[in-house]
Amino acid sequence: MANSEYIVFNQLLGNTSISVKKQKSFDSDRDNILLFELSNGEIYRFEHDQDCCEAVYIEDIDGDLKDLEGFPLLMAEVVIQRMSEEEVATKKIESGTWSFYKFATIKGSVVVRWLGLSNGCYAETVKLIQVKS
């Protein structure tokens, strides 16, 4: 597996968000969903279906999600990077992944950093799901 990966979310680019918010799923005590409601009526959700030996959640947000509302998205991408052996050993886990989701409008930019931890047998990243078209 490559150490890092880059993905552009073309389905979001050029669209205007009317609401962007983080949420907790019913079975989590941490924010693990990022929800985009677009002005064209579409709704997209970034999330991860949790399994028994893993955790994927929003570690932190750099910027204000409100800056992504009311203007077309000029950037919607992710850089995914596997943790180094040193980071994994420090956290006393089997496997870990950082995902940096980057969004921008003319008003501002936001980086949402997700952390995925597991025993090495599970996916540690977030999927983009279209909830409503």
pLDDT digits (tens), the chain, 133 positions: 457 889 999 999 999 999 999 988 777 777 889 999 999 999 999 998 877 788 899 999 999 999 999 999 999 999 999 988 888 888 778 888 999 999 999 999 999 999 999 888 888 999 999 998 8
Enclosing domain of residue 40: 4-132
* Residues 6+ positions from 71 with CB-CB distance below 8 Å: 16, 105, 106, 107
What is the count of structural domains for the chain? 1
